[in-house]
Chains A and B, each alone.
Chain A
């Protein structure tokens, strides 16, 4: 069973607008969440993270929101740029599971000029 789900396989956004990528999880023992970005023919690269004790973390154009009661997190990119076009993975770390992460299936973001 998938404990981390990204229900939208793809998203298309106009340059300059906001991109919102969503992620849902089922295990309440997840205590840390990360977003990764992946370009074709490259490995995923870390983008931004949030601890379960927070509900928001911001880094430049990227903001991650966590709603623990809904077991939902989202990544906002404002403003979106063509270079943001990539596959975005959310990942979650289980409490007391070392550095092991569970990844969602990914969402392909396309930012149109």
Chain B
């Protein structure tokens, strides 16, 4: 099993640019989560999908952030326009709802906005 795949692993962009982070969950998993890790706020949940449907997006910081899950094997997190305070590590995780509560994390995307 390849695990959760995230791309790119590193992204450096200038303020005002659009950034798209990508995630491929583990095959067969029906829940997908986007997290952001910062020194100040630790690991915070941004949005949670179940069966491709957004269930809870209360953690999305503001309208500049959007996430989609067009099918069971792909999700994107988009920031437009990006700002320096968006610099963080973004993780995607997946799990099987109804089987266990354990989430499996990808390696993360380190985003730097200059």
Contacts and interface: CB of A to CB of B under 8 A. Distances in A.
Interface of A: 32, 34, 36, 41-46, 49, 89, 93, 98-106
Contacts, number: 62
Given A34-B102, A49-B102, A44 B107 contact: no
A32 B43 contact: no
Would you call the interface of chain B mostly helix, strand, loop, or mixed?
strand
Chain A to chain B: the 8 pairs with minimum beta-carbon distance, closest first? A43-B105, A105-B42, A103-B43, A99-B95, A99-B31, A46-B102, A93-B101, A99-B97
Given A98-B50, A98-B97, A103-B43, A45 B105 contact: yes
A41 B89 CA distance: 9
Interface in B1-16: 4
B42 A44 contact: no
Given A93-B101, A106-B43, A100 B106 contact: no
Contacts of A49: 101-102
B93 interface: yes
A35 B102 CA distance: 10
21 contacts: A34-B101, A34-B102, A41-B108, A42-B107, A43-B107, A43-B108, A46-B104, A49-B102, A89-B42, A93-B101, A98-B50, A98-B55, A99-B50, A99-B101, A100-B45, A100-B56, A103-B35, A103-B42, A104-B42, A106-B42, A106-B43
Interface residues on B, range: 20 to 34
B91 A100 contact: no
